[in-house]
Structure 1
Amino acid sequence: MPYSIMLDAGHGGRDPGAVYNGRQEKDDTLRLVLAIGEILQNNGIDVQYTRTTDVYQSPYEKAMEANNAGVDFFISIHRNSFPTDNVVSGVESLVYDKSGIKLEMAENINEQLESVGFVNLGVKARPNLVVLRRTRMPAVLVEVGFINSNTDNQLFDDNFNDIAQAIADGILDTLEMDHELDPPGYRVQVGAFRNPTYANRLLNELLEQDFPASIIDSDGFFRVQVGNYDTLDDATKMEQRLKRAGYPTVIVSR
């Protein structure tokens, strides 16, 4: 079975993203995502998109779309910005935390983009970003240069096809490294219900408190679980947070 990837073109519709001299982030990201998707599809990857036209979706809606589609990876493409024009340039990738296959994929993408000519600003953990926190699969957000950097914009325009190929190569290189797609990992279960109404009620309660909760539907039960952790230590830390909030918990393997 081929790998499946949800490609997300950042922003869209009424949300232009960063803007510089009339250039809008939402346009650059959509054009690039469509080019990346074509390369991945030609290499046997099952590609889905959060958008293929200029429409608006909230970050939460994008994360839920990926979760509902059950894809293996979520890749979000953006352009960066800095308060002062033409001061900072380069590419960086963001992940929920610096662990697992998502970190390796982010590093591989950055290295490939560096070979095109971008400065490699590294990989950073951003656990508060909705599309990284709410997605249940490994997720990477790539900032493909600064939109208010003339240097990066020239690189983007003059080497567009090479940039699309570089991002696709970073993804493909990661998938060819003999990793297990779903390595042993952990979630914290807070409840299991046969009635989905009760499960959704608990889910919404947890989401309102900013816990990264989701519902796993299996074996006739709707299981409300929190997180998606590569290490038992990280799962234990979340379990302690939930216990302090008054929830019954059990750590389960994903």
Structure 2
Amino acid sequence: MAVSIMLDAGHGGRDPGAVYKGRQEKDDALQMVLAVGEILENRGIDVQYTRTTDIYETPYQKAMKANEAGVDYFISIHRNSYPVDNAVSGVESLVYDLSGIKYEMAEDINDQLETIGFRNLGVKARPNLVVLKRTKMPAVLVELGFINSDTDNQIFDENFDAIALAIAEGILDTLMQRPDMDLDSEPEEMPGVTPETETEETEEEARYHIQAGAFRNPDNAQRLKDELIADEFPAFISHEGPYYKVLTGNFASVDKAADTEQALKRAGYQTVIVSE
């Protein structure tokens, strides 16, 4: 089963959130959530949303929606604000407490956003926020720059697609670093490797590929394959069990695969090296 995430666009409807020069937090949050969700869906994540239009629900209703859906993670996107205009800038992420995978994910998201040009203000504990306190799954609230900072708004507007990708990669980086929390709910055996043969395999015998995605829907796999080929990365699809895996390369060693994997990451792909 794919990992499931509920994305929450902060505020909405009659609640605009923070406002600056006619700009409303609820609009920025919704646009970004939809962009992040599309990237995650294309990477095989089961994405649900608290809202996809300009409607209002209380934070408690949003938390209950996530609990009832039984998702694995809850990510809420907001814009920050400060009493004095243009006095503070940067991104920060909020979690219930500074522990566990939610904290790791918050740090990974911040690190990715820092590469776009935002100041990294760190991860902070906010145990009294309803969407962090009442959700039953790991939850992160991302404050995506200050809406009353012209600097942050310029970064947001000029790097919108890169920011969406950075948030998605921060989430995916956390999942891929946890062997029990990858795109499947259970650890996945590498193709062709069984517990009996794994210890006997040598570097010379192994072949390595780079996996860029795993999907239940073959159309999504084909879309990613076509995207890779358009970017001049030879790609193919391997159908294993319920998943269509998009792979590229055929390397004799991990070191050789790593060079190409770095090129893929620089091109914006979320990857992992697998062996056959």
Fold shared, TM-score > 0.5 on shorter chain: yes
Q: Distance in 2 between matches of 1:58 and 1:3?
A: 26
Inter-partner Cα distance in structure 1 for 2:136 and 2:98 = 16
Aligned to 1:120: 120
Counterpart for residue 105 of structure 1: 105
C-alpha separation in 1, matches of 2:93 and 2:15: 21
Structure 2: segments with no counterpart, 5+ residues:
186-276
Quote the residue 1:203 is aligned against: none
1:116 and 1:74 map into 2 onto residues whose CA distance is: 23
- Per-residue CA deviation, residues 122-168 of structure 1 (Å, 9 max, x unaligned), is 00000000000000000000000000000000000000000000000
Aligned to 2:141: 141
The structure number with the bigger radius of gyration is: 2
Letter in 2 for 1:83: P
Tell me whether 1:51 sits opposite 2:51 in the alignment. Answer: yes
Distance, in Å, in 2 between the alignment partners of 1:177 and 1:25 is 32
Letter matched to residue 59 of structure 1 = P
What is the aligned partner in structure 1 of residue 255 from structure 2?
Answer: none
What displacement does 1:179 show? 4.4
- Aligned-partner residue type, residue 165 of structure 1: L
Structure 1, residues 59-110: CA drift from partner, whole Å, max 9, x if none? 0000000000000000000000000000000000000000000000000000
Structure 1 runs not aligned, ≥5 long: 183-254
Q: One-letter code of the match for 1:98?
A: L
- The TM-score normalised by the length of structure 2 is 0.65
Once residues 84 and 180 of structure 2 are traced to their aligned partners in structure 1, the CA distance between those partners, rounded to angstroms, is 43
Deviations 1:205-249, CA, capped at 9 Å, x for gaps: xxxxxxxxxxxxxxxxxxxxxxxxxxxxxxxxxxxxxxxxxxxxx
Q: Which residue of 2 aligns with 1:25?
A: 25
- Distance (Å, rounded) in 2 between the aligned partners of 1:25 and 1:177: 32
Please tell me whether residue 82 in structure 1 is matched to residue 70 in structure 2. Answer: no
Task: In structure 2, give the amino acid aligned to 1:24.
Answer: Q
Q: For residues 161 and 151 of structure 2, what CA distance do their matches in structure 1 show?
A: 17
Rounded Cα–Cα distance in structure 2 between residues aligned with 1:179 and 1:81: 37
For 1:33 and 1:139, the matched residues in 2 are separated by: 15
- SS of residue paired to 1:71: coil
Aligned residues: 182
Distance 2:63 2:180 in 1: 23
C-alpha displacement at 1:178, in angstroms?
Answer: 2.4
Give the Cα–Cα distance (whole angstroms) in 2 for the partners of residues 99 and 179 of structure 1: 18
RMSD: 0.9
Amino acid at match of 1:56: Y
Give the CA deviation at 1:180.
3.1
Identity %: 76
1:13 counterpart = 2:2 = no
Give the match's secondary structure for 1:123.
strand
> Structure 1 counterpart of 2:174, which letter?
T
DSSP-derived class of the 2:177 partner: coil
1: CA distance between counterparts of 2:28 and 2:88?
19
